[in-house]
Amino acid sequence: MIDLHSHTDQSDGTFSPAELVAEAKRVGLEALAITDHDTFKGYDLAVPFAKEAGLELICGIELSTKFGGATVHMLAYFPWTPPSAEFCDWLEEILESRRERNRQLIVRLQELGVEITLAEVETKGRTLTARPHFGRVLMEKGYVSSMQEAFDKYLDEAAPGYVQRKEVPVNEAIARVKAAGGITSLAHPIRVAKNDWDTLAEWTEKMASAGMGAIEVFHSDHTIENVGFYGRLAERFGLLVTGGSDFHGANKPNISLGTGHRGNLAVPYSLLENLRNARR
């Protein structure tokens, strides 16, 4: 069993890289990909711990991209060579746009009568400050009683506090990952075009022809029916298959590393072999 989708406390998870490696060993994973949002810091920090534990670690990342008017999360993996320096410079620009979003989010929350400062929120994060860090402060200050409520009331895309951050067009993200020596995979397609399967098929075809290499068929949020459909999409458009839990530690307490939501996940090692063999 492997897990190709996980987050550390360097983005919006709660496990440190060392703790995540220990958890991977505890649950018996053969390989783990760390796919933090917009940063390789968690992966870099995990490398020595994985080596010591004898765990195969894959370098990954999750990018927020724009496709038409929709937000699409794109996973990227670097199973062959480390990402290029140019790609890492580009990530710095993305982190800066996130900082700008955070400054705007504070102003928006203050307009809504919430008395919090950016400094308070930033102490919760490591490499970057994400919405769950805002959620923690909202809980501590008694504005909400749970992370769910923080998102529902203030932080979710449909909530009054939501501030859109700059996102890169999906084609640019795909091209940049390719140029950097990596391979992209459409993350949790269940959140793309919701249950409109025709639209999802159409979009997947466009992303595949733009150079996307894979689709995340297995994910904690996917039903058996979803998995069947996404698997057929992969076949139809010649995409590789990836899968993972999207583990976030205490920020998504119902999801377990490797086994997902109530054991609905068991990603086979062969998918990683297919990924590795994909390089021509």
Enumerate binding residues for Zn ion (CB under 5 A).
Answer: 62, 73, 187, 246
Nearer to Zn ion among residue 187 and residue 207 (C-beta): 187
Residue 74 C-beta: closest distance to Zn ion, Å:
9
Task: Determine the Cα–Cα distance for residues 30 and 242; give it in Å rounded to an integer.
Answer: 15
Nearer to Zn ion among residue 143 and residue 218 (C-beta): 218
Nearer to Zn ion among residue 3 and residue 246 (C-beta): 246
Exposure class string for 152-186: b at 16+ Cβ within 10 A, else e: ebbbeeeeebebeeebbebbebbebbbebebbbbb
Nearer to Zn ion among residue 143 and residue 259 (C-beta): 259
Residue 64 C-beta: closest distance to Zn ion, Å:
8
Residue 119 C-beta: closest distance to Zn ion, Å:
27
Residue 37 C-beta: closest distance to Zn ion, Å:
7
Nearer to Zn ion among residue 73 and residue 133 (C-beta): 73
Nearer to Zn ion among residue 130 and residue 233 (C-beta): 130
Q: Quick one: angle between helices 41-53 and 17-26, nearest 10? A: 40
Residue 13 C-beta: closest distance to Zn ion, Å:
9
What residue type is 111 in one-letter code?
A: E
What six digits make up the tokens of 236? 């139809």
The CB-nearest residue to Zn ion is: 73
Q: Distance between alpha carbon 64 and the CA centroid of its chain, in Å?
A: 8
Nearer to Zn ion among residue 61 and residue 106 (C-beta): 61
Nearer to Zn ion among residue 106 and residue 255 (C-beta): 255
114 closest CA partner among 140, 143, 147, 136: 143
Residue 248 C-beta: closest distance to Zn ion, Å:
7
Residue 130 C-beta: closest distance to Zn ion, Å:
11
Residue 171 C-beta: closest distance to Zn ion, Å:
19
